[in-house]
């Protein structure tokens, strides 16, 4: 846990940029521009978005991405060991939203215990266990990406398993 910054200081830009800044924009550029229109169906149609290639990932170094659009910051992680919801041949790649599902603050990655941590109200999420809330005030575990990795090693996000903070439809 780190000291909380006043909300007002976070600002929209900082919030949208996610934990690491510039990388989010780069990843967002590859998203399809046409969002799925809100249609009277259960669930939403997710875009298939290339977020990175496996070569871009280093063990325990978060790669900032955004999905399903540029306004939804997230992170890709590689652990070097198989985890239950991991993708890839080694089953060790995962992706999460980095917006806290409690009050929408940006989460920070702590590599020592592979958790995403909220400076707002101290919620903590276990990245090795599907985003399980270890402690906190969110009523959801952390939204995780459904990933597909093709033969070239390109990593695609194709869905999210919980509602993202700040939107009543995951695809706006």
Partner 1 sequence: MAYKRHIDRLPIIPKDATEFNVTCHYCIVGCGYKAYTWPINKQGGTAPSENKFGVDLSKQQQPETAAWYAPAMYNIVRQNGQDVHIVIKPDPDCAVNSGLGSIRGARIAEMSYSRARNTQLQRLTDPMVWRYGQMQPTSWDDALDLVARVTAGVVNDMGEDAVIVSAFDHGGAGGGYENTWGTGKLYFAAMKVKNIRIHNRPAYNSEVHATRDMGVGELNNCYEDAELADTIVAVGTNALETQTNYFLNHWIPNLRGTSNDKKKAEFGSEPIEPARIIFVDPRRTVTINACEIEAGKDRVMHLAINPGTDLALFNAWLSLVADKGWTDKPFIAASTTNFDKALAANKTSLDEAARITSLTVDQITKSAAWIAEPKQGGARRRTMFAYEKGLIWGNDNYRTNGPLVNLALATGNIGRPGGGCVRMGGHQEGYSRPSDAFIGRPAPYVDKLLIEGKGGVHHIWGCDHYKTTLNALKFKEAYKKRTDLVKDAMSSVPYGDRPQMVKAIMDAIKQGGLFAVDVDIVPTKIGQACHVWLPAATSGEMNLTSMNGERRMRLTERYMDPPGQAMPDCLIAARIANHLERVFREASKPDVADRFKGFDWKTEEDAFMDGYHGHEKGGQFVTYDRLRAMGTNGFQEPAVDFRDGKIIGTKRLFADGKFNRSDGKAQLMETQWRGLEAPGKEAEMKKWPFLINNGRTNHVWQSAYLDQ
Name the minimum Å distance from CB 153 to partner 1.
26
Rounded Cα gap, residues 167 and 151, in angstroms: 33
Q: Does residue 1 belong to the site contacting partner 1 (CB under 8 A)?
A: yes
Q: Which is nearer to partner 1, 42 or 112 (CB)?
A: 42
Is residue 74 within 8 A of residue 95, CB to CB? The reply is yes
Q: Which residues fall within 8 angstroms of residue 58, CB to CB, at 6 or more apart?
A: 78
Residues in 140-159 at the binding interface with partner 1, rule: CB under 8 A: 140-142, 144, 159
What tokens were used for 21? Answer: 């800044």
Residue 152 CB, nearest approach to partner 1 (Å): 28
- For residues 37, 73, 11 and 131, what is the CA-based torsion angle, rounded to 10 degrees? 110
Nearer to partner 1, 56 or 161 (CB): 161
Pure H helices in 1-118:
7-17, 22-28
One residue of 25, 91, 130, 153 binding partner 1 per CB under 8 A? 130
* Closest distance to partner 1 from the beta carbon of 38 (Å): 7
Range in contact with partner 1 (rule: CB under 8 A) among 2-10, 26-34, 51-59, 147-155: 2-10
């Amino acid at each position: 846990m780190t000291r909380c910054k006043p909300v007002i200081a976070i600002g929209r830009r900082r919030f949208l940029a996610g934990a690491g800044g510039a990388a989010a924009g780069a990843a967002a550029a590859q998203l399809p521009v046409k969002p799925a229109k809100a249609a009277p169906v259960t669930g939403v149609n997710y875009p298939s978005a290339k977020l990175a290639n496996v070569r871009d990932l280093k063990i325990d170094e978060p790669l900032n991405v955004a999905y399903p659009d540029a306004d939804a910051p997230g992170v890709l992680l590689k652990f070097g060991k198989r985890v239950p919801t991991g993708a890839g041949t080694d089953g060790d790649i995962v992706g999460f939203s980095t917006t806290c599902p409690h009050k929408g603050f940006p989460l920070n990655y702590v590599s020592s215990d592979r958790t995403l941590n909220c400076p707002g109200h101290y919620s903590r999420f276990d990245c090795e266990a599907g985003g399980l809330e270890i402690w906190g005030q969110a009523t959801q575990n952390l939204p995780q990406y459904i990933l597909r990795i093709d033969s070239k090693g390109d990593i695609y996000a194709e869905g999210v398993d919980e509602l993202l903070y700040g939107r009543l439809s995951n695809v706006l």
